[in-house]
Chain A
Amino acid sequence: RKEVEQDPGPFNVPEGATVAFNCTYSNSASQSFFWYRQDCRKEPKLLMSVYSSGNEDGRFTAQLNRASQYISLLIRDSKLSDSATYLCVVNVYGQNFVFGPGTRLSVLP
C-alpha cells in the first residue's frame, strides 16, 4: 500500500463548480498535513496546511480525520486558474515529506 493515496483523477469541472479531493495516508504517526498545487512543468507551491480542526482559506477548505487517516480539500466556486494538479503531502515529525500522486483538475469555461 502506498504511503499517501489520492483520487486518481482527472477531474474536469465547469467554472463555478464545487470539487472535492480525497487523500488517505498509511502512517498513523504522521503529524503534519498539507495541500500543494503544481502547475504543469512547475514546482509545487503550498496551498494550505491542514489542521485537526479543519481550516478554510477563501474558497478552499481542508479537513483532517486522524481516526480514518483521511484528508480532504474542497474548492468552491472553481475558477479557470484553479486548474492544476493537487498534491496531498504528509510529514512525520522530524522526517521527510511524502507526496501523494496528485489529482489533476481542469476547470472548463
Chain B
Amino acid sequence: GAVVSQHPSRVICKSGTSVKIECRSLDFQATTMFWYRQFPKQSLMLMATSNEGSKATYEQGVEKDKFLINHASLTLSTLTVTSAHPEDSSFYICSASDRRPVQETQYFGPGTRLLVL
C-alpha cells in the first residue's frame, strides 16, 4: 500500500515554542491531507483538511491561527503548532488521500507525539 511518513515521530518542547510537523506521501500524489489529534484513551479527532494549493478547512473549535497548515505540494503538508502549551500535548496523525473528492482510501502516517512541558 501507499506510504505516508511523518517527522518528527516524537518531540518534547518548552511551553511557548512553535513545533512543525511534516507529513509526506512517499509514493503517490496526495490531493488531500488530513490532520488529526488523539488524546489518551480517546479517538481521533479531525482538526483540518487541506487540499494542495488551497487554504486548509478547519473543524469547529480548532484555532487556525494556532495550528497553521501548509499544503504547498502534492507530497508535503506541514502542521505548525504555534506557541505550544501543555494542553497541546497529544498524538498528531496525518493521513493522505490521492482522490478528490475523498472516497475510500486514506493512508495514515505513523503519528507524532508532542509533549509540551
Interface residue SS majority, chain B:
loop
Distance, CA A97 to CA B101, complexed state (A): 12
Assign chain B's interface to a size class: 20 to 34
Partner of B42, one of A44, A95, A96, A101: A101
B44: chain A residues at CB < 8 Å are: 44, 87, 99
On whether the beta carbons of B104 and A96 are closer than 8 Å, the reply is: no
User: Which stretch, B67-75, B80-88, B106-114, touches the partner chain A?
Assistant: B106-114
Distance, CA A41 to CA B93, complexed state (A): 11
Distance, CA A25 to CA B80, complexed state (A): 32
The 8 A CB mask of A18-54 against B (1 = contact, 0 = none) is: 0000000000000010100000011111000100000
On whether the beta carbons of B108 and A45 are closer than 8 Å, the reply is: yes
On whether the beta carbons of B43 and A32 are closer than 8 Å, the reply is: no
Partner of B43, one of A49, A96, A102: A102
A44: chain B residues at CB < 8 Å are: 44, 93, 108
B106: chain A residues at CB < 8 Å are: 97
Count contacts on A: residues with CB < 8 A to the other chain: 20
Task: With both chains docked as a complex, state the minimum distance between the C-beta of A8 and any C-beta of chain B, in angstroms.
Answer: 11
Q: Which of B6-56 contact A (CB under 8 A)?
A: 34, 36, 42-46, 49
Q: Which residues of B contact A (CB under 8 A)?
A: 34, 36, 42-46, 49, 91, 93, 101-104, 106, 108-111, 113
Task: Name 5 A/B residue pairs within 8 A (Cβ), A-sorted.
Answer: A43-B108, A43-B111, A49-B104, A93-B101, A97-B46
Going nearest first, the 5 A-B pairs with the smallest beta carbon separation are A94-B101, A43-B108, A101-B43, A99-B44, A99-B43
Q: Which residues of A contact B (CB under 8 A)?
A: 32, 34, 41-45, 49, 87, 91, 93-102
